[in-house]
Structure 1
Amino acid sequence: MSYRKVLTDRVCAQLALSTAVGRFAQVMFDVTVVIFVVEDLHRPAAAGLAVLLATLPGLLLSPLSGSFLQGRNVTGWMAADYVIKAAATLGIAFGASADAGGVWLLWGLALLSSLTSAFGNVAFRSYVALSLPAELRGPANGLDSMIAGLAAMAGPALAGIAVAVFGGRHSVAVVGVAFLVAALVAAASGRTTPEAGGEVGLRSAVEAVRGILVHPVLRGLTGVYFMYQVSVGVLVVTLPQLVSAGFGADSSWVGISWSIAGMAGIVASLAAGHRISDGAERRFLTIGAAVTLVGVAGLFLHSTVFWLAAMFVLLGLAVGPMDVGLLSLRQRVLPENGATAVLAVSSSLNMAGYPAGAMVGGLVAGLGLGAQTGVAAGCALAALLLCALLPAGSLHARRTSAGKTAQEAAESPTA
């Protein structure tokens, strides 16, 4: 019933749909561009840099982007982000080539597609945090986590189908059209300005970062989720070798394992969104981190593929309480002023854990499977220990979008 109530909010439903299409398009962008550049242009080195340029600049600019969004039409700028991504993607599809000029065009357009990423990433979460009543935020967060899980699981498969049907270059163009669809859906949701405007510039961006670092709950959440994502990133790099050398299975089990985790994650996200309540967020995060640790540690026991599948069921089930717990607790402690900027910075810091983990996984690859799995398990353990350090108790009061004061949960740090 609660999910039905969330979807009866027209703006929320349309922003969720736009976010879903945009996330699918982003996952498909990474896959189709790599295939196009490697197989059609025969420039594998250029492909890796293109994906990096399509991701990293947006993360680095998120403090400025978040402060810019304060007091502005978040749905309009969400649409603008997707229009820019559509133009850049279509430009890559029809302009990139194997010569030097074509490769530089590829890199430049990949960079362009990243610059406004925070606008698209934050709009839905800003609306949920500042415009929805408190009783609907849990289900909305479950929906958010489910969308991310669906995109991660089905996006690569859709990209593979697009490449098979349309070819490398035209599959990239299909992704550009998907971004346009996401932009149209966002624009149709109407103007949404959930908070008053604020200062835009380097000072406000620094304040947004400082606001996270000095706030005991936001700082703790950043540490918990960053370490969790590092563990996942290490595992992504480790899994192909683990499947073949550890479990003696066919390489197809790499994709099968992540699909199993994705399906379990979707179910867990919906369940967590339905069950979570104010004050339960830290318990959800602790459960998620603990289940992640068990799933990763279980990979030390090289057994049959059924054991591998069981561990990835656990890893998928951990996603729901981790994501929904993070989103719900972060929403409850957002400051009265500058909430959108804090959301943008916090989301970027959390996302940074995944590429950091992938890098760490690559660096320790030469030390063997035991070392790689041990690092992943160690990061999961660190996330669990950090959950125990999250402040509990009553949080400062924060005004809702209707101007009423809601008593929200967190405890000030003791001296």
Structure 2
Amino acid sequence: MPPYWPVVRDRVFGRVLPGLALSALGDGMSAVAIGWLALQYAPPHQRGLWIGLAVAAYTLPGAAGAILLAPLLRGRGGAHLAALDAGLRAVLLGAVPVLAWTGGLTIGRYTALLACSALLSAWGSAGRYTLVAQVLPTELHLPANALLTVLTEAATVAGPMLAGLLIAWLGAAAVLAVDAATFAVLAVSFALVRTPAPLPARERRLAGFAAIRRDRRLFAIMGLSFGFFLLFGPVPVAVPVYASSAQEVAMLYTAFGVGAVTGAIATGHLPRLPLWPAAIGSVLGFGLLLLPLGLGLPHWADLLTLALAGLAWAPYPTASMSLFQRLTPAACLQSVLAARGAVLVVSTPLGTLLGAPLVQATGAATALVACGGAIVLLGLVAVLVRVLRPLPRGRFDERKASGCTP
């Protein structure tokens, strides 16, 4: 029986999957529309600045929300957290097209709405993966995580193409209206889910950052993830400069997306996948496949290389998330996943910011080679750490972690 079938048929998780798929597609469309709408409203001499601020505003505030809103949100059910995040996104993103169509939108209001809409993003992500751990047995965690990765990566293939058509027809604001509607559907889907009762007062005081810091295995996978996403950050800056046309950029991203979707589907068919070797191997494979992009190969070779890079990338989100779910007890899971989201939501944008001067100074080809080499080095360091300092086995010990005590 295919590994995804029990996940899809689960009476709780199966209900939210259509909303998750629809919302992923909306986000894939917004990836194009957010920068395009900022371009339209920004002053001509400050377009680069405002586009960067708008793109960052859609993700970075989630890190602040994970810390500042923790006293209010710890202990809530996974579905409740996901519903709150989706509801906030729906309302504030929906306000953008309303203001645009009534003449009240400015670049400042636009950026502020994007920033406020992202405040619960780390908690929303934590809620989705907490729900996986709450309602599905352990043996289904990996295929469920892989399925969520498939939805995300597939949206990066289909979303931008649909966004381009809709922007040409109705404008970029219409794309955000569609994205807001998909978030509204997702919010309703999660609001209808009934999960176990909220955690008692003692468990609401759990601190995700403290829990990660106290457990060497969680700290290791967090460090590996931060480094991997940070070093990946310059790639979105280098690829448009490296390509010779907008059509070539689209083809390169599509090739990567096709490889990532294929790899995510394949990962779900490996229920006994060794998670640590898969995560480290994904880092090494991706870094090695990034190196040839800077060597001036023919266009078809670049497409093939990026497709293989997507294939190598795909196991990482699934394996790393499965490690967090497997190593963290239920009492700590929400706080730990929210802390994870707060850290990782910073890593890729930070890498992108650092990548801009790197590409400017060295050129796109050299920057791609440098990123590939740095990612390979990160993977080799992870291998050495695993060999020289083997990590303890078993689950996280609540009693020894200050983050899990009153």
TM-score range, shorter chain: 0.7 to 0.9
Query: What is the aligned length?
Result: 389
Q: Of the candidates 188, 191, 194, which is equivalent to residue 191 of structure 1?
A: 194
- 2-structure distance, mates of 1:167, 1:200: 47
Deviation at 1:8, TM superposition (A): 0.9
Check conservation: 2:263, 2:312, Cα contact below 8 A.
Answer: yes
Counterparts in 2 of 1:197-276, with a 5 A limit? 197-198=200-201, 204=205, 207-244=207-244, 250-276=245-271
The alignment's TM-score, normalised by the length of structure 1, stands at 0.84
Deviation at 1:200, TM superposition (A): 9.3
Cα 1:256–1:199 shift into 2, 3 Å: farther
Residue equivalent to 1:247: none
Check conservation: 2:64, 2:119, Cα contact below 8 A.
Answer: no
Residue equivalent to 1:332: 326
Check conservation: 1:138, 1:328, Cα contact below 8 A.
Answer: yes
Residue equivalent to 2:33: 32
- 2-structure distance, mates of 1:195, 1:2: 30
- 2-structure distance, mates of 1:103, 1:114: 17
Give the secondary structure class of the aligned counterpart of 2:272: coil
1:327-372 deviation digits (Å, cap 9, x = unpaired): 1111111134221110111133233221122112102122224541
Task: Write the letter of the residue equivalent to 1:26.
Answer: D
- 1-structure distance, mates of 2:200, 2:168: 47
Deviation at 1:312, TM superposition (A): 0.5
1:230-255 deviation digits (Å, cap 9, x = unpaired): 232211111122233xxxxx442211
Cα 1:30–1:307 shift into 2, 3 Å: closer
Cα 1:222–1:208 shift into 2, 3 Å: same
Structure 1: unaligned runs, 5 residues or longer = 245-249, 400-415
- 2-structure distance, mates of 1:272, 1:2: 10
Counterparts in 2 of 1:37-76, with a 5 A limit? 37-39=38-40, 44=47, 45-65=49-69, 68-76=72-80
Cα 1:184–1:336 shift into 2, 3 Å: closer
Deviation at 1:198, TM superposition (A): 4.4
Task: Write the letter of the residue equivalent to 1:338.
Answer: C
- 2-structure distance, mates of 1:168, 1:255: 18
Give the secondary structure class of the aligned counterpart of 2:12: helix
Q: Of the candidates 294, 309, 327, which is equivalent to residue 303 of structure 2?
A: 309
Give the secondary structure class of the aligned counterpart of 1:192: coil
1:172-201 deviation digits (Å, cap 9, x = unpaired): 32222222122222223x222476244699
Cα 1:383–1:155 shift into 2, 3 Å: farther
Residue equivalent to 1:17: 18
Give the secondary structure class of the aligned counterpart of 2:106: helix
Cα 1:221–1:191 shift into 2, 3 Å: same
1:59-92 deviation digits (Å, cap 9, x = unpaired): 2222455664443233233223222211111211
Cα 1:362–1:37 shift into 2, 3 Å: closer
Residue equivalent to 1:343: 337
Residue equivalent to 1:8: 9
Deviation at 1:296, TM superposition (A): 1.0
Residue equivalent to 1:104: 108
Check conservation: 1:220, 1:386, Cα contact below 8 A.
Answer: no
Percent of pairs identical after alignment? 24
Structure 2: unaligned runs, 5 residues or longer = 399-406
Deviation at 1:40, TM superposition (A): 6.0
Give the secondary structure class of the aligned counterpart of 2:40: helix
Give the secondary structure class of the aligned counterpart of 2:294: coil
Check conservation: 1:129, 1:331, Cα contact below 8 A.
Answer: yes
Deviation at 1:123, TM superposition (A): 1.9
Check conservation: 2:226, 2:347, Cα contact below 8 A.
Answer: yes
Cα 1:176–1:210 shift into 2, 3 Å: same
Deviation at 1:375, TM superposition (A): 2.7
1:384 is the counterpart of 2:379: yes
- 2-structure distance, mates of 1:142, 1:95: 38
RMSD: 2.8
Residue equivalent to 2:176: 172
- 1-structure distance, mates of 2:170, 2:152: 25
Residue equivalent to 1:146: 150
